[in-house]
Structure 1
């Protein structure tokens, strides 16, 4: 099976700071780096490093050729990544001494693809494949509906959170992935709880408290692994990408949750986003040492 991903590609500008800036505060950074990121990129890399066949659908500007090449180096099929004249998306990421982060996004080329371009990219999709979506691109609802009609499983990460975006995509979603804050916002907006959301499956990541899966009248929980965090950027994306890949490869939900939890645990011990996501062999060794 193939995992398609209509996803963002960003240049991550990461600043190490003693604490997250307060309103009106000018704060001197203690470190700086540029790396490959974007929720879409992170999920594609995670799924590919977990061992799945991943086809990324997206766009970069003239300044983003390196990002497309890096995606390919990390095992992602980039035939669906266009190079256009709009600047590549980028993120300003502040990371504090406790590994918490605050992020500002410039969407750039990520919102430039047309519906016809997305349709062409999904032509090869077939029943049993998976489509990953996040709220950092355009035409998510169009892509989700098209995929559903082809029998493709649709996994939507409701981030950055927008109730309007979720409402538009929800009728076509197979699994809705959120963090704890996003889940609370969605349930409040819809006047319901996680178990009664109008979607077959939900996946809620809880940071250091683990994660929860709800579906088919069942609830499953996984605890997080105890590690010393360095940078939590991309941890949720790592979890989502690994979970989707595990399910794509035939793992049951419990197995997928454990694998994804281990991958996310390794990720937070490393600075950076996409390039810090562990390979499957590393995750297997980590699990063997924790069993």
Structure 2
């Protein structure tokens, strides 16, 4: 089977800082690096490195040819990434001495993906494939609705969180993943706990406390793997990509989550985003 990811593609400018800047504060960075990023790109790379066939649907500007090439090098099918007359999206990420981060996102081409690109891509999808999207692009409702109609399994990563956008796709999705804060925000917006949303599988990630999986048979908790983190950026996207890759390859949810927890644990011991996501051989060899 295959994964079709309507996803963002960013240039991530990562600055090492002694602490997260306060309001009005000017702060000198101690280091700066540029990575391929964006929640969509991160998930595509993670799923590809977890041995899934991944087709990315998205857009870059003329300044983003390098990002498209990097995705291709990481094993992602890039035929449905179009180049627009606008700038590639970028994120400014500050990472402090405790590995916490602050992110400023400029959406660029991610917010202007043509509907024709989405339709052309999904015309190649097969019943039973996965469609996944996140809240960093346009066409989310259109994509989930079309994918559901075609018989694809539909997943949604509810970040960056927007309650109205989540509510707009709930009736079309089979899989929802969000973090603890986002789950609380969604409950405030809908009045419903994760188990009551009508979605077959909901995963709430809990950072260092692991993850909770809500299914029709109840709730199951998974403990995190303890490591010494250096950068938490992209860890959640890595987890999501690995869960989807496991499910797409026919693994049960429990095994997919446990494998994803290993991948996320490895990820937080590295500085960077898509460029440093661990591959399946590293995850399988990881013992802790």
TM-score (norm. length: structure 1): 0.98
What pairs with 1:156-175 in structure 2 (closer than 5 Å)? 156-175=156-175
What pairs with 1:43-192 in structure 2 (closer than 5 Å)? 43-192=43-192
User: Corresponding residue for 2:237?
Assistant: 237
Unmatched tracts of structure 2, length 5 or more: none
User: Corresponding residue for 2:27?
Assistant: 27
User: Corresponding residue for 1:271?
Assistant: 271
Deviation per CA, 1:107-152: give whole Å up to 9, x if none: 0011111222211111011211001100000010000000001110
Contact kept in structure 1, 2:234 and 2:274, CA below 8 Å: yes
Deviation per CA, 1:191-245: give whole Å up to 9, x if none: 1212111212101111000011111222222111111101100000000000000
SS at 1:192 equivalent: coil
Contact kept in structure 1, 2:82 and 2:117, CA below 8 Å: no
Q: CA–CA distance in 2 between the matches of 1:187 and 1:157?
A: 16
SS at 1:23 equivalent: coil
Deviation per CA, 1:81-130: give whole Å up to 9, x if none: 11121100000000011111110100001111122221111101121100
Contact kept in structure 1, 2:63 and 2:88, CA below 8 Å: yes
Asked if residue 249 in structure 1 is aligned to residue 249 in structure 2, the reply is yes
Q: CA–CA distance in 1 between the matches of 2:138 and 2:185?
A: 22
SS at 1:18 equivalent: coil
What pairs with 1:209-228 in structure 2 (closer than 5 Å)? 209-228=209-228
User: Corresponding residue for 1:259?
Assistant: 259
Q: CA–CA distance in 2 between the matches of 1:253 and 1:200?
A: 12
Contact kept in structure 1, 2:201 and 2:214, CA below 8 Å: yes
Unmatched tracts of structure 1, length 5 or more: none
SS at 1:164 equivalent: helix
Root-mean-square deviation (Å): 0.8
User: Corresponding residue for 1:285?
Assistant: 285
Q: CA–CA distance in 2 between the matches of 1:176 and 1:264?
A: 18
- Ranges of 4+ aligned residues in structure 1 off by more than 6 Å: none
User: Corresponding residue for 1:206?
Assistant: 206
Deviation per CA, 1:254-291: give whole Å up to 9, x if none: 101100000000000000000110000000000xx33x
TM-score (norm. length: structure 2): 0.99
User: Corresponding residue for 1:12?
Assistant: 12
Contact kept in structure 1, 2:57 and 2:117, CA below 8 Å: no
SS at 2:113 equivalent: coil
